[in-house]
Copies of this chain bind each other. A is one copy, B any other.
Amino acid sequence: MDDRCCAPPETALDLRPVEGPDADEELAALTKALGHPARVQILRLLTHRVSCVCGEIVDQLPLAQSTVSQHLKVLKDAGLVRGEIDGPRICYCLEPRTLRRLRALIGGL
């Protein structure tokens, strides 16, 4: 249950600035991706189960499979989540690097 299926720990730190036009755009994109209750819940699920979850997410949310898939796409496009193929199913897990980056950007406010 808690075997990880995707992540290399990825501990390199991010040296990009937390201010300026690029940072503003980046922060806006990340918060926009997070700006929906279902997506927050998905991220929360992924933080709680140490390892990656696949379509169990669908079972945990009161939404259709296609809707959940769209939300996952938003999170993936924002870089907050990564999906890797694991046999017939797909294994999603957090991208801690991006989460750290988000914290840094918000901290810069």
Contacts and interface: CB of A to CB of B under 8 A. Distances in A.
Contacts of A25: 37
A9 interface: no
Contact of A34 (B27, B37, B41, B47): B27
A39 interface: yes
A86 B104 CA distance: 34
Main secondary structure of the interface of A (DSSP, over half): helix
Contacts of A44: 19, 24, 109
B28 A35 contact: yes
A107 interface: yes
A99 interface: yes
Interface of A: 19, 24-25, 27-29, 31-37, 39-41, 43-44, 47, 99, 102-103, 106-107, 109
